[in-house]
Amino acid sequence: MGLRFFVSIAACVLISACLPIPNSFSAPAPEVGARAPDFILKDLAGNSASLSDRRGQVVLINFWATWCAPCRVEMPAIQARYNDGSFAVLAVNFDESEEKVQEFVDELGLDFPVLLDPGGNVQELYRVRGYPTSFFVDEDGVVRFLHIGEMNESDLDNYLVQMGVDR
């Protein structure tokens, strides 16, 4: 191996060290007790929705996918509890087509905000590694609970009651 090889390797290392770090990785990972990172995504009607727009409300941020069986199972419980109007839901879909997401929403009769995350940037920001993943955010924008995996009605009610949301 010659000098040219080592110079090439050194140049690659220097260049990669100078590349900007994506915003999603420069921010701290969301954790219980920390402020939830804000985001803006489009819903199925093309309207913008953000976490900060819901400041003053308890918010369930639910990361999900149409192909996820546990997501399909927990959605009716979220919908039933959402109907009482005592908290907000932002259901962030895995990077799937609008058509596929709309079919899922129509099939299950969901009427809470379902958001599209093209490229999965918000899911990277929240370090989502499995579906479903749910963050419960208080009125001040602080993560109070993190639930990975399927939630049943009892789990959902328990988190919401602890956050002061009564039935």
Please write the tens of the pLDDT for every residue from 18-59: 333 344 445 667 899 999 999 999 999 999 999 999 999 999
Task: Inform me whether the pLDDT recorded for 101 exceeds 90.
Answer: yes
Angle between helix axes 98-108 and 69-82 (nearest 10 degrees) is 60
Mean pLDDT check: name the lowest of 5-9, 67-71, 88-92, 153-157: 5-9
Strand (E) positions, the chain? 40-43, 48-50, 59-64, 88-93, 114-116, 133-137, 143-148
Residue 85 has what pLDDT? 85
- For the chain, what percent of residues have pLDDT higher than 90? 78
User: Model's pTM, two decimal places?
Assistant: 0.83
Task: Inform me whether the pLDDT recorded for 144 exceeds 70.
Answer: yes
Task: Inform me whether the pLDDT recorded for 129 exceeds 60.
Answer: yes
Classify domain 29-162 at the CATH superfamily level: Glutaredoxin (3.40.30.10)
What's the token pair of residue 88?
């907000």
Residue 142 has what pLDDT? 97
- For the chain, what percent of residues have pLDDT higher than 70? 82
Residue 166 has what pLDDT? 81
What's the token pair of residue 51?
């976490």
Rounded-to-integer distance, Cα 65 and Cα 75, Å: 11
Q: Are 78 and 60 in contact (CB under 8 A)?
A: yes
